[in-house]
Amino acid sequence: MRSNLKGKTATVKKTSTAAKKPVKDEVLAEEVNAAVQTAKEAVEKVTEKVAEKTEELVEKTEKAGKTTARKAPAKKAEVKETVYLQYLGKEINKDDLMKRVKEIWTKELKNKVSDLKSVTLYLKPEENAAYYVINEETTGKIEL
């Protein structure tokens, strides 16, 4: 009888060991699944934080761009220039001459003010005249 029991004990031991393996595998699978789920949740949180930070940076960049755009057109302080030529009791102002050249350009020559790109003035007091060159092409004379 004893030998018969020995065989049955060995069979029971083998069976219990075999029964423990699936249990261990199931526990291991549950742990792995839980770890995978935890990792997925962590990745989702990190992705959300990255998206939020990206949005914040985009907003800051857009605000900085708008601020820069507003500051870019800022002009340097302009110096008001006034030029007078005084000769033989006459006083001739550069601004008055430029006004007369623009009138000639628009009224007499029938051009647009926007087409006026450059004006060069030559003052010749001994001839009582100012000569002009408009857009490096059109020339004329103004009596002082």
> Which of 50, 74, 98 represents a domain boundary (last residue)?
74
How high is the pLDDT of residue 11?
54
Does one domain contain both 7 and 54?
Answer: yes
Whole-number Å distance between alpha carbons of 61 and 59: 5
Does one domain contain both 64 and 89?
Answer: no
User: What's the number of domains the chain is made of?
Assistant: 2
Domain coverage including residue 31? 1-74
> Which of 51, 74, 97 represents a domain boundary (last residue)?
74
Whole-number Å distance between alpha carbons of 105 and 138: 9
Tokens of 120: 């060069």
How high is the pLDDT of residue 76?
75
Residue 79 lies in a domain: no
Does one domain contain both 59 and 102?
Answer: no
Mean pLDDT of all residues in the chain?
A: 78
pTM across the whole model: 0.45
Sequence-distant (≥ 6) Cβ neighbours of residue 95 within 8 angstroms: 82
Sequence-distant (≥ 6) Cβ neighbours of residue 130 within 8 angstroms: 92, 97, 121, 122, 123, 124, 141, 142, 144
Per-residue pLDDT tens for 46-80?
Answer: 778 887 888 888 888 777 766 555 556 667 788 88
Burial 65-104 (b: 16+ CB within 10 A, else e): eeeeeeeeeeeeeeeeeeeeeeeeeeebeeeebeeebeeb
